Amino acid sequence: MKDITDAMNWRYSVKDYDPTKKLSADDFQRLKDVLRLSPSATNIQPWHYVIADDDAGRARVAKGTDGHHEANSSKIKNASHVIVFCSRAYADDEYLSELLEKEDADGRFTEPKRKIQMDEKRKKSVNNHRFSKKDEPF
């Protein structure tokens, strides 16, 4: 593929999966690395992933399709791997402080004022969603 447009034109929605085909461990590790490195607004990384890569795990995830979405059950059960994207629903001040201190311990800030700026920027963003937009995606 030459560029992102080529990649998107190549993309298609899979309707059924061949249960005999499995992603290799190396390919799936590369996918997990991409997920782990995915950035987020103000570095909050509000998401976690649940990975089902065996029959029992996929069956457990497929329970979520019971009823209105049961047409998707076979897709989940027959896929090589299923990734459930989970997002933080609320980033309270305690979480924001823990995140800031972890970044500081990791050496993210080159000078003390950068830590203060990140804290202010992050709180402004969260509070904008919390109080102005009232959609708090964190």
- Percent of the chain exceeding pLDDT 90 equals 55
Residue type for 97, please?
S
Instruction: Calculate mean pLDDT across residues 47-73.
Output: 93
- The contacts of residue 93 (CB under 8 Å, 6+ apart) are 123
87: helix, strand or coil: strand
Instruction: Judge whether residue 105 has pLDDT over 80.
Output: yes
Q: Alpha-carbon distance 31 to 21, whole Å?
A: 17
Q: Which tens digits make up the pLDDT trace of 106-129? A: 999 999 999 999 999 999 988 888
Q: Alpha-carbon distance 122 to 96, whole Å?
A: 8
**Phi and psi dihedrals of 90, rounded to 5?**
-155, 130
Give pLDDT, residue 8.
78
φ/ψ region of 63 (left if φ > 0, alpha if ψ in -120 to 50, else beta) reads alpha
Is residue 118 within 8 Å of 109, Cβ to Cβ?
yes
Q: Which tens digits make up the pLDDT trace of 62-82? A: 999 999 899 999 999 999 999
On average, the pLDDT of the chain sits at 88
- Return the structure tokens found at 65: 């399709």
Give pLDDT, residue 62.
96
Residue 11 banded pLDDT, cuts 50, 70, 90: confident
